[in-house]
Amino acid sequence: MSDHNNQPLGFYADNPEWTSPAAINEDLVARHESKSRYFKPIILALGVGVILGVVGLILRLVDGVSDTSQWGYTAAVLAFLLTTASSAPMVAIAPRIAKGHWNRIISRPAEMWSVAGLISLLLFIPMLWVLPSLEDGRRSLWFYHPGEVFAYSPHLWMTLALLGLVVLGFALLWISALPDFALLRDRADDGSKAKQRYTWLARNWTGATGDWIWQKHRLGIVGALYFLMLITVHFLFSVDFLMTLVPAWIDSLYPATHAVHALQAGTATMIITMFILRKFCGYKEIGKDQFWGLGKLMFALSLMWFWFWFSSFNVYWYGKRPNELQVLELFIKGPYLPLFYANFILVFVVPLFTMIWNFLRRSTWGPTLIAVSVLIGIFLDRIRVYVAAYSVSDQSAEFHGIKTIPATVYPDVADVFIVIGAITAPILLYMLITRVVPIINIWEQKELLLYKVHKKYHRATVMVLGKPE
């Protein structure tokens, strides 16, 4: 096995010892089967965080669900999970559809974030009781006549959409990992638990031509459906569990803005994941091309963040109707002004004025620091918007604007525990799943051997890459 700690920044996962499929198998399987001595302490620490989250959720449920203002931070952290972890698989889906090579080494780490949807689904369950039904005459952005629509239709459609996202996420990960499951099945000792586990997971995979064609088509279909369902989830959640709670907040662009935030935060999540895998887990094959590619994408999405925000802000600022000014007062000018400033700086200003420098853009730590800034900014934005919206949800039956702007709602002990648990639970689940699913896509690295060749070009040796199909 090579000394991965001394490897230079990689290019398309170009490990010099990955010269044959057998060499790739030996290297990546050995790394998958090894376990760091820090694994158990980290698992225990994350487990404590999850326990705190459960305690916080119990404390919040004991207080009841009638006072929706108490559930603002729960809704905010749920939206944050949908914006980050559940959106990270798009880093694997989009380049694969575009037939790119650079993402092969990070496609599996991105797909594995889809398991975090299970945590979002569990956290969403109490929100079903928090959101009032349509029976009380509360405001809705849907067009219907009274009595013609099921009173709990917002709850129903959001539940189906989120459940569909979770199922598609697990299906995407399973289909992608099928060849690797078969490899681990064939290498396991007869009668061992690993043999039984991977025999069940690999199903009837034999590696025949029909198997590969089936997998390729299903990956494309499930990936496209996951993207569509992700946009649907953000649309429904931002409309029914956010906008309808605020009187006079009518913004046709905001659901799309919510989804764009997800693409930006999902990219930032993957940059941080790549840095951890490279720095602390020995996967030095994750190199410049991956950091540069996602760094440029995150920069473009940061510019899109400003475009979407400014387009919505213009309507309210220049309209200056009293109810529109009340919306600006609630979210921007009023009690949550410091959070808005922090969000604006961390999500837009920091990427704008740092990615222009070559020494930052062409490093591994530069895009990572910017990704941390983006994630913090997105988290503060979710708190600003959702906590503010739930603080005026008792006025949701008003159609002419917000009567009074409440003061800033600060988190209590239960809120802090819920936030800690909601953030640590997906990370814990991610780490546990790495003991079953290889964190690097083995079959994609072997497939890359079919598309690349090293050739002499004057005094340099360059790699020539073919394009699939």
Query: What pLDDT is stored for residue 400 in this prediction?
Result: 66
Query: What pLDDT is stored for residue 101 in this prediction?
Result: 83
| pLDDT surpasses 50 at 363 | yes
| pLDDT surpasses 60 at 35 | yes
Give domain status of residue 308, yes or no. Answer: no
Q: How many domains does the chain have?
A: 1
Give domain status of residue 345, yes or no. Answer: no
CA distances to 123, 172, 308 from 227, in Å: 21, 11, 20
Give domain status of residue 395, yes or no. Answer: no
Give domain status of residue 261, yes or no. Answer: yes
| pLDDT surpasses 50 at 10 | no
* pLDDT, tens digit, 9 for 90 and up, residues 180-205: 999 999 999 898 999 999 999 999 89
Query: What pLDDT is stored for residue 60 in this prediction?
Result: 95
* pLDDT, tens digit, 9 for 90 and up, residues 62-113: 988 888 889 999 999 999 999 999 999 999 999 888 888 888 899 999 999 9
- Cα distance between residue 13 and residue 445, in whole Å: 8
Long-range contacts of 372-375 (CB under 8 A, 24+ apart): 372/268, 372/272, 373/346, 373/347, 374/264, 374/265, 374/268, 374/298, 374/302, 374/346, 374/347, 374/350, 375/84, 375/265, 375/268, 375/269, 375/272
- What domain range includes position 60? 4-286+411-465
Give domain status of residue 435, yes or no. Answer: yes
**Composition of the chain by helix, strand, coil, percent to 5:** 70, 5, 30
Of 351, 418, 342, the residue nearest 130 (C-alpha): 418
Query: What pLDDT is stored for residue 435 in this prediction?
Result: 94
Give domain status of residue 174, yes or no. Answer: yes
Of 184, 180, 175, 185, the residue nearest 213 (C-alpha): 175
Give domain status of residue 198, yes or no. Answer: yes
Task: State what percent of residues in the chain have pLDDT above 90.
Answer: 62
Give domain status of residue 344, yes or no. Answer: no
